[in-house]
Structure 1
């Protein structure tokens, strides 16, 4: 007679799993014959273009700061306790309180990616993408209820915490899959997907503006309705992307393709490193520092781009030789519009740099690419004060456009850097842990820029010169980053996985099991049509965002 444990195993092995469970399993996403790897980047972009709206959430701050007063903010009485502010319904929130959502986004992005990266490798990108959609869009719905009930804590929990978890899972969901589909073009593949995260705000922010204008009334600023609409739109796109994910069969290689022979050939490992060992290597922490320092410098500039241009050049932006404090209200509005164009132009270079530099790294190697980031960045940060004092707006703008392209390029290149060093078996999970560097930089960069500026102004430094010391300190950060990058060497062989470990890891990740659902083959015509439609679905919204951004950026050249 079979023991209960054996009987339960027999039942488990013969009882079919529910359809939804099978659909979301990793085995069900194994690609069938005739599947084109060029369908995977659009699937990743469907998710990244949606969660990238996290960068554009500042578009909601001003309307939310007068959600009760509608026309003008109603200030809370002085001395209200922290707990009372979280639940107050009779007065408006301050922008500084709302800004905590932005901080929570990136803290929980890094934490969730680090905590659940290992689960993602086992569960597969499809299931992770679905969970990401539920968290991100569910967080927006909770925030919509929070705005409707005027409960600040619901916004922090909804979008900040739950949405932040969705950000982390959505951000890393395609990394391992893309690298395995494009072993010959690792940088380009991850660059295409991560480009979408930078582009999400470029689409989402103007869309949110239009939705708020549509829903606004005498009794509402239109934010909670916009949150609901965005949640519905994003859910459709994110679920489509998640269900479209396919993983390659074990051992798959692109026909006729071979890993590129480039300057980083010696840095590309032939054996993977286990997730449990990756953080024990000096390479992990060196690359962690490389990403943290590169992002700290760039993210500090992003947060202060608009006021920096206005304070450095003042009236010279509109042909008047006067400082910003000497301008009238109408003139300040003019230069604020020009500064908004500067911010838009930076976002374009941030996005374009993700694809350009990541693709370039396939040719010159990841280590060399980061050396370019740091060496060129040091020179550009050091030159920025000179451009400001010389009154050259064009040179100043060009400097920061290149800097922001390398900021974005750093994000897109690091997954391929990790795959080169640690192999592809656990690269998604290792990347997830590395993103704690982003969470750290999200605090370090803005704090450095903001507090140094405040210190300078408090000690009588003119606003036009208040950023000089900041630029030199950011250049010093890049010097440290360059040193860390130069110290990166191939991972010691003692950390490499044995054949038995590799086999066990692949078994745990369901990479050696057959597909649960049949994946039919596709003809060349069907494949071409599917690729065209998939790229149009993500390309058209992205082009619309680029067009809107270019219109704003054109103000810089008038």
Structure 2
């Protein structure tokens, strides 16, 4: 899983260039084929290194390529409703994850064989991508006249030299770290500190609330702006973490906080595609967001290891809750600083 998450930004850069050149459909289809192939090949491997290659690398490459293809291709069609457009696409990702989880459980129950279940999943994914590719349309290439030039437009080389990018990168990494604490460990936290007999229910509920949150925060972002919405997301997540710390053992508080974090975490995923285009223009959005997504990978890869290590060392997750709260408050401060700095920069550009 960590290899899969860590490798996703690399194909997003490749796919981003394809999208900016008017090949969004190709990015989605190639990504879908690679993702399917990763699962199919995983059904034939019998050792861990090969599984790292098939599921971690091949499926990870496909996942990143298809993800950026769907997200950034659609943003180019709806530049004035970036939040809602992102929310709808990402809600689809969440719903798809839930459906695929149930499908995987069905295959496991029928076959009692992980390899065959992976093989069947890969075949289903391949059939789905074959069908949906007939309905996909690529956004116009940046040089075709379909996307108007803007003073905001920057390619990735200039973006990486811009302080705004690194501020947003840090804010994204801090937010993703905090969200992944619950996403990766909600079942374990519930069973070890809140007396749950099974973590399956809370994991499913967190996923559902996360999908709902993607639509909610997407619409709110278009009304309040990305920075204001991000502050709300981070402060609400802080509240949930503090409730977990102060009401240790209270099952009702655990469910409220875990579902609240899942709901709020969705906002981070929705807000940053829009902030990237808001700061660096739409013409190079695909490639630029590929680089921005490395901030997501940093938080997503580090969080499970840090959470597990602290819990093992201290015997509880309380220290994790406090650490996460501090990181989120740092994120709030950085967001407010970035908002003010960006306003100054954009005033000079316009």
Measure the CA separation in 1 of the matches of 2:274 and 2:132: 22
Residue number in structure 2 paired with 1:275: 156
2:227 pairs with 1:359: no
Q: Which of 88, 93, 111 is the matching residue for 1:215?
A: 111
Measure the CA separation in 2 of the matches of 1:121 and 1:252: 11
Give the unaligned 5+ runs of structure 2. Answer: none
Measure the CA separation in 2 of the matches of 1:400 and 1:213: 28
Residue number in structure 2 paired with 1:258: none
Q: Which of 214, 235, 250 is the matching residue for 1:375?
A: 235
Measure the CA separation in 1 of the matches of 2:271 and 2:128: 25
Residue number in structure 1 paired with 2:309: 451
Residue number in structure 2 paired with 1:97: none
Normalised by the size of structure 1, how large is the TM-score? Answer: 0.58
Residue number in structure 2 paired with 1:165: 61
Residue number in structure 2 paired with 1:136: 35
The number of residues matched between the two structures is 342
Measure the CA separation in 2 of the matches of 1:294 and 1:342: 21
Q: Which of 149, 165, 169 is the matching residue for 1:284?
A: 165
Q: Structure 1 residue 490: deviation in Å? A: 4.1
Q: Structure 1 residue 152: deviation in Å? A: 2.3
Residue number in structure 2 paired with 1:295: 176
Measure the CA separation in 1 of the matches of 2:67 and 2:9: 10
Query: Is the contact made by 2:243 and 2:253 (CA closer than 8 Å) also made in structure 1?
Result: no
Residue number in structure 1 paired with 2:91: 195
Residue number in structure 2 paired with 1:522: none
Measure the CA separation in 2 of the matches of 1:274 and 1:490: 20
Normalised by the size of structure 2, how large is the TM-score? Answer: 0.91
1:272-309 CA distances to partner (integer Å, 9 max, x unpaired)? Answer: 22232111111111111111111101112222111211
Query: Is the contact made by 1:361 and 1:413 (CA closer than 8 Å) also made in structure 2?
Result: yes
1:153 to 1:491, Cα distance in 2 relative to 1, 3 A: farther
1:490 to 1:423, Cα distance in 2 relative to 1, 3 A: farther
Measure the CA separation in 2 of the matches of 1:227 and 1:365: 41
Question: What is the correspondence of 1:238-317 to structure 2 with a 5 Å cutoff?
Answer: 238-248=129-139, 271-314=152-195
Residue number in structure 2 paired with 1:183: 79
Residue number in structure 2 paired with 1:478: 328
1:173 to 1:116, Cα distance in 2 relative to 1, 3 A: closer
Q: CA RMSD in A?
A: 2.3
1:109 to 1:248, Cα distance in 2 relative to 1, 3 A: closer
Query: Is the contact made by 1:292 and 1:437 (CA closer than 8 Å) also made in structure 2?
Result: yes
Secondary structure of the corresponding residue to residue 153 of structure 2: coil
Measure the CA separation in 1 of the matches of 2:122 and 2:28: 15
1:270 to 1:367, Cα distance in 2 relative to 1, 3 A: farther
1:413 to 1:444, Cα distance in 2 relative to 1, 3 A: same
Residue number in structure 1 paired with 2:116: 225
1:447 to 1:227, Cα distance in 2 relative to 1, 3 A: closer
Q: Structure 1 residue 200: deviation in Å? A: 2.8
1:303-348 CA distances to partner (integer Å, 9 max, x unpaired)? Answer: 211121122222xx5xxxxxxxxxxxxxxxxx12xx2111111111
Query: Is the contact made by 1:142 and 1:154 (CA closer than 8 Å) also made in structure 2?
Result: no
Question: What is the correspondence of 1:97-112 to structure 2 with a 5 Å cutoff?
Answer: 102-112=1-11
As a proportion of its length, which structure holds more helix? Answer: 2
Query: Is the contact made by 2:226 and 2:275 (CA closer than 8 Å) also made in structure 1?
Result: yes
Give the unaligned 5+ runs of structure 1. Answer: 1-101, 254-268, 318-334, 458-465, 498-558
1:279 to 1:151, Cα distance in 2 relative to 1, 3 A: same
Which of the two has higher C-alpha Rg? 1
Q: Structure 1 residue 115: deviation in Å? A: 4.7
Query: Is the contact made by 1:181 and 1:248 (CA closer than 8 Å) also made in structure 2?
Result: yes
Residue number in structure 1 paired with 2:273: 415
Measure the CA separation in 2 of the matches of 1:439 and 1:471: 21
Secondary structure of the corresponding residue to residue 415 of structure 1: helix
Measure the CA separation in 2 of the matches of 1:290 and 1:347: 23
Query: Is the contact made by 1:380 and 1:403 (CA closer than 8 Å) also made in structure 2?
Result: yes
Residue number in structure 2 paired with 1:327: none
Measure the CA separation in 1 of the matches of 2:310 and 2:47: 34
Residue number in structure 2 paired with 1:343: 203
Measure the CA separation in 2 of the matches of 1:177 and 1:443: 26
